[in-house]
Structure 1
Amino acid sequence: MLHLTHFTLKFCPRRVSHFSKCAVSLDNRAIYRDNEALANEAETYRRRRKTEWKRRQGGQNFLDHLIINIRGGKGGDGCAAFHREKFLPFGPPSGGNGGRGGDVYIQPTTELTTLNSVAKRVRGENGGNGQGTWQNGKNGSPLVIRVPVGTIVRQLPRDDPRTAKDEWDAEAESLEGLEPAEKQAKMRDNRWVHYPRYSESNVERDSFIEAEQVLYKQERERRYARRKREIEEPIYLDLDKEVELEDDPNSPLGLPRKDGLGHLVALGGQGGVGNPHFLTQENRSPKFATRGHEGDRVTLSLELKLLADIGLVGVPNAGKSTLLRALTGGRAKTEVAGYAFTTLNPVVGVVRVAQDGSFEGGLSEGMVHDETLIEEAQIKAQMEEGAFADALTRNQQNNSDSLDRGYGHGHSFDIVERFRFTIADNPGLISKASENVVYVVDFSVPAPWDDIAVLRDELEQYLPGMSRKARMVIANKADLLAGDGDPASVEEAKLKLTRLEEFVAREMSVLDEQGDTRYLDVVPISAKFSQNLKKAVGLMEKYVVEAREAVREKESSTSDDSDWF
């Protein structure tokens, strides 16, 4: 092998070079011809990678409560150095100071709907160490934790077992079991930087002993101030909206800042000082510097106050949990059980809509979302006309679109995500938990309109004015409208749907904030067989967009009015 390589390099260098140039030329011409196609392919690949990344960041499951440990960045160490240059072999002390550690902020944003993207352990950037010739270290960049609007932030007390130890408690734990001399040596190593080969002689100098006493005194004062602040003014933030933060550079911990970063929750540590700081008349050649301080350590509880964009309201066994599974592609971990909408354990899922209007659950329309086994003959339906004209049966989907597009049971959502919103089966847990309410009724019962009236009255008793947020009536279990069964039953189901639509238009219209009458949409579906869900998702997306735009306009008008004062 070595001989063959040597032979090629010795006798064929020009020929190899010629072939290489030809290959490069052909490649360039091919790239030039297919440049547009390659660019489109690269863009598609990039967008798919971005969608996959967003899903891995926590878009699959909803999370509304989280405990996080935050640590501000550590300050950089000071430097013990002396200036040296030509004809100046013994220059003055020239060690620079360490940079300040990065602060940690919390910023509410409407772009997020879940706490899944928040890390459980957050640490600010450390400051840079000082260097010789009076070069100070770089300050650590601030770190911003982005959370959804509607997050409540609480600082856990020190006696809570989930609270992380501060730097002093952590140091005390690391010193357990050591001899007094070893403890003192380790504590000094955590606080001081010595000039090379002078660590032993420094600790015996009076100047170092005095500086060490001052350092411990400052440390005790800093520890007392932090403990007092944690007891008297613990962090509590109600991030209910995005606001323009006030300009206050001296704002204490937890108050807003106008630097666009959010609310300050953890301060970075101060940087250590270089050896010029200890220059005195008695000590003209200080050979020690201090290390940077640790940043604040806090443990925060994050809890979402606003649960979802869309809230489902329905009587027991109306199919809310089945509908939520179908809309989220089975990712929402719902419990199929009979409970009222005021349950204290709501289930929230994320609905992701693609560029073409399809959604993750809709990629496998026809999949049975139920705990019971049913016969294949029960799910056959002919969709030539009727209310489900745009929905396919299970067999039709498996033989057409799903297979052509590479999807099926167990597929992955591998198309570009365009829009997402959250949906919960119980909006009545917290006031203003959902800006849009959707009634879910069982269409198979003799009088589904009676259930709607009951739900409206229950909402008003729970919170007056909440029924005005209703936007849609979903008639679930409307399988007969797909054309399955005998013609008489299908015709009876169509008449029932007409009567339901007339009742909703006559009895369920609401007045919006402008005083205009708004009529509810009526959409018959079969959540169990994933039929006609695309139409429901399209309307839900419309409601969410309108609600978010209304909130932005309201905040904008409020901000404009405040400028006059």
Structure 2
Amino acid sequence: MLQLAMIDYAKITVTAGSGGRGKVGWRQDKFVRKGGPDGGNGGDGGSVYLTVDKNLNTLKNFQFQKKFTADSGQMGGKNRRTGRNAVDLEIKVPPGTVVKMEGSDPSIDLIGTGQKILVAQGGHGGRGNWAFRSPTLTTPKFADPGEAGETKTLALELKLLADIGLIGLPNAGKSTLLSVLTKATPKIADYPFTTLEPNLGVFRSGMTRCDLVIADIPGLIEGASRGKGLGIEFLRHAERCRVLVHLLDATSKTIKADYQQVRNELGQYSPKLLEKPEIIILNKIDLLPVGKIPRFPKALAISAATHKNLDQFKRALAKIL
């Protein structure tokens, strides 16, 4: 059985750095062989942050690396010197990443570029023996070991941020349409499941007030809402799209059933998806004889391959957005 995977979910473990050990030290100089305590405090351990990077659009970086550890603080020094604090560890994630910390509620939504959240706090440095001196304890011979950094298990789920989501059965022509509307270069071939992960492109047109992000979302099969095929690994991306563009293969003998199959899967995953604005496209009309284009309610007939009627589609996008 063909196994397809899209890297938009990851489970990782992050560990912040421990604080540096406090120093047990004694003052020594030319005239004092062994003076009082002068051991310094340890430095703080590095904390772990998640930071949004607009140049990322997948969680595939976490496919092979699932454990991240920040550096520990430096041990305290002589002459009451505090050890260096460790540098914080920043882990980059794409916009639209939803973070769920194990044993914590609710989840955190990372949307804005540069947004940064603390996920594991570094440990405080241990106190050196200088910090323990007192009138009744003039020569403390001990120091703190330093506080351990936090360890957290994080579930990361990516929900793409796009204005327009291209949906449809496999091989309906979504990738071709994306490539002609934008400068994106998705893998295109005449067989199902060419697209195994979402492709993003930016649509620039004088017909719209601003640039629009289009997501070519991998094709659906029956049972996707229950995890078959690319399953819910694709469906979650449709949740954030403002408009769904439903592509149908005009050469199919079962166009109505094709349309209903996709709608059924959307509804079973989340009824709210059925409430989103929708543009229906009959694609591949260039493969049909003149006058043999099937009729479908409210559908625009186009050819992404030859660009036929693309301007009508662009106007429909501008109007609905």
TM bin, normalised by shorter chain, reads 0.5 to 0.7
One-letter amino acid of the structure 2 residue matched with residue 319 of structure 1: A
Partner residue of 2:223?
none
The 1-side partners of 2:136 and 2:94 are apart by: 58
The 1-side partners of 2:272 and 2:67 are apart by: 41
The percentage of aligned residue pairs carrying the same residue is: 27
Task: Evaluate the alpha carbon distance shift between residue 125 and residue 451 of structure 1 in structure 2; reply closer, same or farther with a 3 A threshold.
Answer: same
**CA positional deviation for 1:352:** 6.9
Structure 1 gaps of 5+ residues are: 1-60, 157-229, 244-259, 337-345, 354-418, 481-488, 509-519, 526-530, 551-565
Partner residue of 1:239?
109
Return the match for 1:117 from 61, 71, 88.
61
Partner residue of 1:68?
12
Partner residue of 2:84?
138
Q: Does structure 2 conserve the Cα–Cα contact (< 8 Å) formed by 1:102 and 1:143? A: yes
Task: Evaluate the alpha carbon distance shift between residue 235 and residue 98 of structure 1 in structure 2; reply closer, same or farther with a 3 A threshold.
Answer: farther
The 2-side partners of 1:241 and 1:107 are apart by: 10
The 2-side partners of 1:121 and 1:445 are apart by: 47
Return the match for 2:143 from 289, 293, 302.
289
Return the match for 1:440 from 247, 263, 272.
247
Q: How do residues 126-205 of structure 1 correspond to structure 2 at under 5 angstroms? A: 126-156=72-102
Return the match for 1:350 from 172, 194, 199.
199
1:269 paired to 2:269 = no
TM-score w.r.t. structure 2 length? 0.66
**CA positional deviation for 1:347:** 4.8
Task: Evaluate the alpha carbon distance shift between residue 137 and residue 240 of structure 1 in structure 2; reply closer, same or farther with a 3 A threshold.
Answer: closer
One-letter amino acid of the structure 2 residue matched with residue 79 of structure 1: K
Q: Does structure 1 conserve the Cα–Cα contact (< 8 Å) formed by 2:267 and 2:274? A: no
Q: Does structure 2 conserve the Cα–Cα contact (< 8 Å) formed by 1:459 and 1:467? A: no
Q: Does structure 1 conserve the Cα–Cα contact (< 8 Å) formed by 2:200 and 2:215? A: yes
**CA positional deviation for 1:264:** 2.2
Residue deviations 1:169-215 (CA, integer Å, cap 9, x gap): xxxxxxxxxxxxxxxxxxxxxxxxxxxxxxxxxxxxxxxxxxxxxxx
Q: Does structure 2 conserve the Cα–Cα contact (< 8 Å) formed by 1:444 and 1:478? A: no
Q: Does structure 2 conserve the Cα–Cα contact (< 8 Å) formed by 1:307 and 1:348? A: no
Task: Evaluate the alpha carbon distance shift between residue 89 and residue 330 of structure 1 in structure 2; reply closer, same or farther with a 3 A threshold.
Answer: farther
Residue deviations 1:138-183 (CA, integer Å, cap 9, x gap): 2223223332333332233xxxxxxxxxxxxxxxxxxxxxxxxxxx
The 1-side partners of 2:105 and 2:161 are apart by: 22
Task: Evaluate the alpha carbon distance shift between residue 270 and residue 461 of structure 1 in structure 2; reply closer, same or farther with a 3 A threshold.
Answer: closer
Q: Does structure 1 conserve the Cα–Cα contact (< 8 Å) formed by 2:95 and 2:161? A: no
Whose helix fraction is larger, Structure 1's or Structure 2's?
1
The 1-side partners of 2:177 and 2:59 are apart by: 19
Task: Evaluate the alpha carbon distance shift between residue 295 and residue 334 of structure 1 in structure 2; reply closer, same or farther with a 3 A threshold.
Answer: farther
Return the match for 2:216 from 419, 423, 427.
423
One-letter amino acid of the structure 2 residue matched with residue 84 of structure 1: Q
1:475 paired to 2:283 = yes
Task: Evaluate the alpha carbon distance shift between residue 86 and residue 464 of structure 1 in structure 2; reply closer, same or farther with a 3 A threshold.
Answer: closer
SS at match of 1:437: strand
SS at match of 2:37: coil
Whose strand fraction is larger, Structure 1's or Structure 2's?
2
One-letter amino acid of the structure 2 residue matched with residue 423 of structure 1: D
The 2-side partners of 1:310 and 1:69 are apart by: 33
Q: Does structure 1 conserve the Cα–Cα contact (< 8 Å) formed by 2:239 and 2:273? A: no
One-letter amino acid of the structure 2 residue matched with residue 242 of structure 1: G
The 2-side partners of 1:264 and 1:154 are apart by: 13
TM-score w.r.t. structure 1 length? 0.40
Task: Evaluate the alpha carbon distance shift between residue 148 and residue 134 of structure 1 in structure 2; reply closer, same or farther with a 3 A threshold.
Answer: same
Task: Evaluate the alpha carbon distance shift between residue 132 and residue 312 of structure 1 in structure 2; reply closer, same or farther with a 3 A threshold.
Answer: same
**CA positional deviation for 1:108:** 4.3
Partner residue of 2:43?
99
The 1-side partners of 2:126 and 2:115 are apart by: 26
Partner residue of 1:524?
303
Task: Evaluate the alpha carbon distance shift between residue 287 and residue 115 of structure 1 in structure 2; reply closer, same or farther with a 3 A threshold.
Answer: same
One-letter amino acid of the structure 2 residue matched with residue 476 of structure 1: K
What's the Cα RMSD here? 4.7
Residue deviations 1:409-465 (CA, integer Å, cap 9, x gap): xxxxxxxxxx996421359834624334222222224796x6797589769967467
One-letter amino acid of the structure 1 residue matched with residue 32 of structure 2: L
**CA positional deviation for 1:78:** 1.4
Task: Evaluate the alpha carbon distance shift between residue 454 and residue 155 of structure 1 in structure 2; reply closer, same or farther with a 3 A threshold.
Answer: closer
The 2-side partners of 1:420 and 1:453 are apart by: 24
Partner residue of 1:201?
none
From the CA coordinates, give the structure whose radius of gyration is larger.
Answer: 1
**CA positional deviation for 1:496:** 4.6
Task: Evaluate the alpha carbon distance shift between residue 467 and residue 347 of structure 1 in structure 2; reply closer, same or farther with a 3 A threshold.
Answer: farther
Q: Does structure 2 conserve the Cα–Cα contact (< 8 Å) formed by 1:235 and 1:265? A: no
Task: Evaluate the alpha carbon distance shift between residue 447 and residue 265 of structure 1 in structure 2; reply closer, same or farther with a 3 A threshold.
Answer: closer
Partner residue of 2:172?
319
Q: Does structure 2 conserve the Cα–Cα contact (< 8 Å) formed by 1:351 and 1:423? A: yes
SS at match of 1:429: helix
The 1-side partners of 2:115 and 2:142 are apart by: 37
Task: Evaluate the alpha carbon distance shift between residue 261 and residue 348 of structure 1 in structure 2; reply closer, same or farther with a 3 A threshold.
Answer: closer
The 1-side partners of 2:143 and 2:137 are apart by: 13
One-letter amino acid of the structure 1 residue matched with residue 186 of structure 2: T
SS at match of 2:130: helix
